[in-house]
Amino acid sequence: MKTYGREANSERSCRRVGIADFAVTTDGAVLTTSGLGSCLGVGLIDESAGVAGLAHTMLPTAPEDPDNVAKFTDTGITAVVSEMREEGATPDGITAKLAGGSAMFAFDSQDEPIGSRNVAVGRATLGRLDAPIVAEDVGGDSGRSLRFHGDTGVLVVKSAGDERRL
């Protein structure tokens, strides 16, 4: 994980999460990612344990034994939750926030756009892991950038001049 200095007016570090990547923090870092179109951003936190994570997944389901588990929504979420548990998160203490899953391309060859499939697989995977979704900003047709505050669980979603706090 790379650390990119301090967030303005804050003592918290800021860590960048790339595409097909994830990060987990135990020091309250702000985890950021951009370029979410049909991709799914998943912020997870166990506030009582002080552990948070952010995944930026590209595709819904992984093939058997994928090279990069973070690339896929099902295995990426599972990997973040697993690492969070290694850092002290409890199975019943983790909550989730989702963003992304836009329908970016009108020519998507599937019956259901990739963004919608990412969201559906994300919801199903979190349900299987008993991690309730407490907020989401999904769908639409525009890209998003995220800032997930590892100390509070606040997810700031920026999209086309708009900013929302979940």
Q: What is the pLDDT of residues 14-64, one digit of tens each?
A: 999 999 999 999 999 999 999 999 999 999 999 999 999 999 999 999 999
First to last CA, the chain: 25
Q: Is 55 helix (H, G, I), strand (E, B) or coil?
A: strand
Residue type, 131: A
H or E stretch covering 79? helix 73-86
pLDDT of 4 over the 50 cut: no
Percent of the chain with pLDDT over 70: 90
Which domains are seen in the chain, by residue range? 3-165 (3.30.1330.200)
Q: Where residue 8 falls among pLDDT bands split at 50, 70, 90?
A: very low
Cα–Cα distance for residue pair 74/59, rounded to 1 Å: 9
Burial class (CB in 10 A: 0-12, 13-18, 19+), 69: buried
Strands 21-25, 51-57: pairing is antiparallel
CB atoms near residue 84 (< 10 Å): 25
- In this structure, the strands spanning 3-6 and 13-16 are antiparallel
DSSP state of 127: H
CA 20 to chain centre: 10
How far from chain centre, in Å, is Cα 11?
23
